[in-house]
């Protein structure tokens, strides 16, 4: 079947629309006609280093099921679906409701560029095109997905609002609601007010928590306060971020969330916490240095989090319900772009001009 996809054809190269061919769905696969797709920071950072080219990225797809393989029972043609990360569904962690830490291999299922048998469902002029990114590669008019990452959603839900739920919103809101679990009597500081950080702000505010956001971009700080943050700090405007947060939260925050992955920011987050506080790390980084004595003597917990500790089939419907109640105004983060303008959307996201670009398909 001939489709149109946004290919990255060189390391760090642009998204370029090309005609490609996609396989018919195998017995465990679901063919989805994409109606909207969010652009996530992971798409942008990964294209800078991805070795297997040409490649189709995209992992916040929403669309309509067009065909299913013989083994698929949870969705049917005509269903509206939101796509998320893929997991095996059978390992110990998946069976225990911790599919974000699938033991079969998050890399093999989500970030290898191929199916698990090393085949790719995409080709161009007879040559392989790599894909299967997060079990979808949704920067295309059609994508092949799986039951583990395909969540049925209401047919009348705007696909543009649904798209970020599959990763960015799930990660931020999930880290707040599933891991940190702030209450009306607790506080949270969020470092980095992009789509993940602001989703955490929304979710924590919905629980009645006092939230502080830290970000160097004025427009993002303004959005954080519009979403209910009690303060939004520019790290360049204060002598010491950790001290400022401790003063605002009267002795230190109960919870902290870092979306940056930057060592200096992680140290600030640790310094912001009160005794027995918890820091959740969701930003991708390699190494960080911090004062071990501070962590030990204050009883601080450090917690790495993938995909908000969320099981998509359970958590995405919960996010949709929160939005319907007016408690998760995802629309305040979104800027719409036609699919044909994907590269412009990506550049706007990378520069900080927009928070969450979402592609629309005619």
pLDDT band of residue 152 (cuts 50, 70, 90) is very high
| Both tokens assigned to 40 | 């996530």
Q: What is the mean pLDDT of residues 178-204?
A: 98
pLDDT of residue 304: 97
Q: How far is CA 298 from the centre of its chain?
A: 31
pLDDT tens-place string over residues 222-252: 999 999 999 999 999 999 999 999 999 999 9
Question: Which helix (DSSP H) or strand (DSSP E) does residue 295 occupy?
Answer: helix 292-297
Whether pLDDT at 287 is above 90: no
For 362, counting Cβ atoms within 10 Å of its Cβ (0-12 exposed, 13-18 middle, 19+ buried), the class is exposed
Domains and CATH numbers, the chain: 2-156+329-360 (3.90.180.10), 170-307 (3.40.50.720)
Range list of β-strands (E), the chain: 2-8, 15-22, 30-38, 55-56, 61-68, 80-83, 122-124, 127-129, 142-145, 150-152, 187-191, 210-214, 231-233, 253-258, 273-281, 301-304, 334-338, 356-360
pTM over 0.75: yes
């Amino acid at each position: 079947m001939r489709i149109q996809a946004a290919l990255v054809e060189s390391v760090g190269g642009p998204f370029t629309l090309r005609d490609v061919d996609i396989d018919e769905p195998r017995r465990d696969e679901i063919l989805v006609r994409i109606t909207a797709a969010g652009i996530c920071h992971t798409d942008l950072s990964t294209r800078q280093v991805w070795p297997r080219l040409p490649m189709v990225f995209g992992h916040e797809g929403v669309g309509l099921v067009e065909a299913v393989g013989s083994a698929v029972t949870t969705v049917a043609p005509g269903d509206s679906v939101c796509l998320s990360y893929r997991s095996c569904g059978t390992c110990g962690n998946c069976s225990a409701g911790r599919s974000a830490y699938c033991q079969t291999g998050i890399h093999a299922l989500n970030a290898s560029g191929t199916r698990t048998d090393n085949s790719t469902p995409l080709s161009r002029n007879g040559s392989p095109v790599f894909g299967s990114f997060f079990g979808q590669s949704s920067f295309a008019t059609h994508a092949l997905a799986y039951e583990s990452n395909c969540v049925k959603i209401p047919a009348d839900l705007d696909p543009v609002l649904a798209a970020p739920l599959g990763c960015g919103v799930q990660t931020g809101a999930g880290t707040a609601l599933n891991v940190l679990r702030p209450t009306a009597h607790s506080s949270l500081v969020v470092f980095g007010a992009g789509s993940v950080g602001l989703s955490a702000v929304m979710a924590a505010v919905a629980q009645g928590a006092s939230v502080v956001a830290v970000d160097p971009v004025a427009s993002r700080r303004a959005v954080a306060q519009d979403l209910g943050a009690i303060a939004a700090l520019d790290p360049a405007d204060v002598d010491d971020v950790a001290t400022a947060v401790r003063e605002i939260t009267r002795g230190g925050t109960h919870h902290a969330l870092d979306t940056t992955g930057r060592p200096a920011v992680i140290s600030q987050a640790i310094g912001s916490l009160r005794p027995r506080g918890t820091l959740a790390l969701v930003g991708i980084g390699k190494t960080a240095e911090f004062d071990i004595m501070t962590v030990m003597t204050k009883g601080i917990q450090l917690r790495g989090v993938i995909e908000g500790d969320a099981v998509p089939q359970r958590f995405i419907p919960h996010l949709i319900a929160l939005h319907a109640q007016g408690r998760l105004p995802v629309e305040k983060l979104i800027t719409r772009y036609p699919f044909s303008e994907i590269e412009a959307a990506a550049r706007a996201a990378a520069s900080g001009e927009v928070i969450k670009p979402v592609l629309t398909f005619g």
